[in-house]
Amino acid sequence: MTNEARTEDRLKTGAASAEADSGASRCRRIVPVILAGGSGTRLWPMSREQFPKQLIGIVGRDSLLQATVSRMKGFSGDFEVAAEPIIVCGEEHRFTTEEQTRESGVDARIIVEPARRDTAPALTLAALAASKDGEDAIMVAMPADHSIADIPALHRAIAIAAEHAERGVIATLGIPPTRPDTGFGYIRLGAALEDGAHEIDRFVEKPAAELAAQYVAAGTYWWNSGIFVVRASVWLAALQKLNGEMHAACCAALGEGKDDGKFFRPAAAQFGRAPSDSIDYAVMEHIGTPSKPCDGVVVPLVAGWSDLGSWDAVWDAMDKDDSGNVASGRVVFEGATSSYARSEGGRLVACVGTTNIIVVETDDAVLVADRSRVQDIKGLVARIREQHAPEADTHRKVRRPWGFYDSIEHGERFQVKRIVVSPGSKLSLQMHHHRAEHWIVVCGTALVTRGEEQFLLSENESTFIPLGVRHRLENPGKVPLEIIEVQSGSYLGEDDIVRFDDTYGRCN
């Protein structure tokens, strides 16, 4: 029997087994699943805990999340693509995730993780949601923070992977390596199949530099892209076999979860019992071992893929000038080579005679790094966090579901913020124990609640909110409301907010 015949026989056997385990009907329907729970600390200072890299336009106008949710548009072939992707994100990013998805013209199902448990529980929640109505759709699971230049090539690879997935195999997309890289996991190729895919021999962890060079020279190892194509029932059966505790916790969390407006919230206590683990560790690394839950195949993806895991990867993914430099924003190079410079805060960044340098400027931080040391930025952020510096987690400009605020100045016992409220939106009804506030309307119309009063303010008008008084700011108009807020008091932290009513369901 040929390798191809043996593989086909295993595929059929795996499909029959998965069918029996799941009890669900097979389906030629694809549901995109976007895993959007990362923090992206290696792209600091642009990416921060409260506003990570998937929400930022790192390589274009759209954010990486927006590029990902639009990635399956135009997919053609023998599979129907669901109009509503499933997005799994964290509590702190849910409003921005919904806003950016809506701006992309996509109506998504958003699952809000009660706690971070890595990608395996996230994919399990998505698989349970995808099969909730008895459907056994094929999931195309994609991280929200990758860049892919050639979308038609991606679609062709997914179409091949989906054919394997329909027959009960876990398929992944592998990247033929262009260089030794210690930042990626690798997949060792097994037998070649007629459609260009390979059986998966095994997954291997991120190697040291010498071993990575050996992998590339051998020609039998591809980078692990982190993109998986698998039927919901196959993933659930595999996880149940390998990690029953995680499977049970996710089932209970989804079963006892509740809808919350535009979001679905799994039960926190049940989800908290799920072990934290990645897709690779939980399942994929067992393929090719005696405990393997099913067969796996890897489909080649040659589409200008990058995981944008570091500033060096961002430099590599972008167009360069004749000297190998990449500029973003107000940047001037003079005698520089192979450098990346980004001005995000609007100030001019000038690089003279630099080589292999990364410079990233934001409103409140500047990073200067050697391109060969960008992996060390994660440790740098940890040190900044140990110092309790806010720059580790938040930007000066902070997004809120009603708009944003920008902390433009602060000193002892005072702080000045620029607040922008979207049309029709309002802040919570709240009170502060330690600060008073002055509001000055710069643009638009404000509806102000202050104690028992309610009144309108127009441009160039102002009001005072005494310490301890309940208050609320609303925008009843059709244009953004912009105000300047001057805070004064003994303590000006964001945790000095007592909320009495909030449209967005936030608690103190």
Judge whether residue 18 has pLDDT over 90: no
The DSSP annotation for 280-331 comes to HHHTGGGTTSTT--S-EEEEE--S-EE---SHHHHHHHS---TTS-EEESSE
Residues 228 and 156: their CA atoms lie apart, in Å, by 14
pLDDT tens for 481-507 read 999 999 999 999 888 999 999 988 876
Mean pLDDT along residues 302-309: 93
Q: What's this model's pTM, rounded to 2 decimal places?
A: 0.85
Residues 263 and 94: their CA atoms lie apart, in Å, by 8
Residue 355, C-beta contacts closer than 8 angstroms, at least 6 positions apart? 336, 337, 338, 339
Residues 496 and 369: their CA atoms lie apart, in Å, by 37
The rounded mean pLDDT for the chain is 91
Judge whether residue 25 has pLDDT over 50: no
pLDDT tens for 404-427 read 999 999 899 999 999 999 999 999
CB atoms within 10 A of CB 413: 12
Annotate 292-311 with b (16+ C-beta within 10 A) or e (fewer): bbbbbbbbbbebebbbbbbb
Residues 381 and 364: their CA atoms lie apart, in Å, by 14
pLDDT of residue 78: 85
409: part of which helix (H) or strand (E)?
Answer: strand 403-411
Grouping H, G, I as helix, E, B as strand and the rest as coil, residue 379 is: helix
pLDDT tens for 428-486 read 999 999 999 999 999 999 999 999 999 999 999 999 999 999 999 999 999 999 999 99
pLDDT tens for 180-229 read 988 889 999 999 999 999 999 999 888 998 999 999 999 999 999 999 99
Judge whether residue 2 has pLDDT over 50: no
Domains and CATH numbers, the chain: 3-306 (3.90.550.10), 311-386 (no CATH), 397-501 (2.60.120.10)
Residues 176 and 178: their CA atoms lie apart, in Å, by 7
Judge whether residue 130 has pLDDT over 50: yes
pLDDT of residue 27: 57
**Cβ–Cβ under 8 Å, residues 144 and 58:** no
pLDDT of residue 419: 97
Q: Name the nearest CA neighbour of 48 among 321, 428, 381.
A: 381
Residues 276 and 243: their CA atoms lie apart, in Å, by 11
Judge whether residue 347 has pLDDT over 80: yes
